[in-house]
């Protein structure tokens, strides 16, 4: 297992917790990750993802937003969420920095990247394209301005974006990559009938990210 270090990111007048999975032999890449709205810095998928990246020489850092730091359920205002991401990039970026997250965490990262954040890549897991049952309320207007390599990785049973919808949205980002996790839902759970469990889905999503990073020259 990689060594882990607890860090603090200054955000305005406060700070949020970050956990860095440190590689035994560091490469040039740093990966920054935020969890979904209902989770926090201890998000199990983020933990597995970051630890796996560290074994491949990537300094992988997961962090949380101010409302998660305070133990509140309701997310901060969008401006604060974006401010947190900008602070993390400013304070933790490495030689080559890739950002991303799951669900809301990834969406906020994508908005900051669309506004010109200086990063080399973007990885979006379970991207929440629209609220469940409301496909007309799409959150994709900003995607067309993203110019860095981008990975979309979601389950085929995700009610926030059906496979076809996700592929259509991803096409707004030039040169993007889409990977569908068979039978997985928005939380990366799969039904017993699929013969897969959540750990299998986590492993596939992690392997997909590692392969994509290598293919894009980001490792």
* H/E segment holding residue 192: none
Q: What pLDDT is attached to residue 1?
A: 52
pLDDT of 3-61, one tens digit each? Answer: 999 999 999 999 999 999 999 988 899 999 999 999 999 999 999 999 999 999 999 99
Are 101 and 150 within 8 A, CB to CB?
A: no
Contact 61, 92 (CB under 8 A): yes
Question: What does the pLDDT average to over 58-82?
Answer: 97
Tens-place pLDDT, residues 106-164: 999 999 999 999 999 999 999 999 999 999 999 999 999 999 999 999 999 999 999 99
* Angle subtended by helix axes 44-54 and 198-215, to nearest 10: 40
Q: What confidence score (pLDDT) does residue 25 get?
A: 87
Q: What is the DSSP letter of 13?
A: T
The yes-or-no verdict on residue 178 having pLDDT over 80 is: yes
Nearest in space to 153 (alpha carbons), one of 131, 184, 130, 191: 184
Rounded Cα distance between 87 and 11, Å, is 6
Q: Is the pLDDT of residue 67 over 70?
A: yes
pLDDT tens digits, 101-113: 999 999 999 999 9
One-character DSSP codes across 117-170: ---SEEEEES---S-TT-TTS---TTGGG--S-EEEEEETT-TTS-HHHHHHHH
Domain 3-215 superfamily per CATH: Alpha/Beta hydrolase fold, catalytic domain (3.40.50.1820)
3-state secondary structure of 100: strand
Q: For residue 26, what pLDDT is reported?
A: 80
pLDDT band, very low/low/confident/very high, at 2 (cuts 50, 70, 90): low
């Amino acid at each position: 297992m990689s060594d882990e270090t607890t860090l603090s990111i200054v955000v305005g007048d406060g700070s949020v917790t970050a956990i860095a999975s440190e590689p035994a032999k560091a490469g040039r890449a740093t990966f920054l990750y935020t969890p979904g709205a209902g989770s926090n810095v201890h998000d199990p998928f983020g933990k597995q993802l970051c630890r796996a990246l560290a074994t491949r020489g990537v300094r992988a850092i997961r962090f949380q937003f101010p409302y998660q730091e305070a133990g509140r359920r309701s997310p901060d205002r969008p401006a604060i969420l974006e401010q947190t991401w900008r602070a993390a990039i400013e304070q933790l970026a490495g030689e080559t920095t890739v950002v991303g997250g799951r669900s809301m965490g990834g969406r906020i990262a994508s908005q900051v990247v669309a506004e010109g954040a200086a990063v080399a890549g973007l990885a979006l897991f379970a991207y929440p394209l629209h609220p469940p049952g409301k496909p007309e309320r799409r959150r994709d207007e900003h995607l067309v301005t993203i110019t860095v390599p981008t990975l979309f990785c979601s389950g085929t049973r995700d009610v926030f974006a059906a496979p076809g919808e996700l592929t259509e949205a991803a096409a707004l980002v030039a040169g993007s990559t889409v990977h569908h996790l068979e039978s997985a839902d928005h939380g990366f759970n799969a039904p017993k009938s699929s013969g897969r469990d959540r750990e299998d889905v986590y492993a596939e999503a992690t392997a997909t990210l590692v392969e994509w990073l290598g293919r894009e020259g980001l490792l």
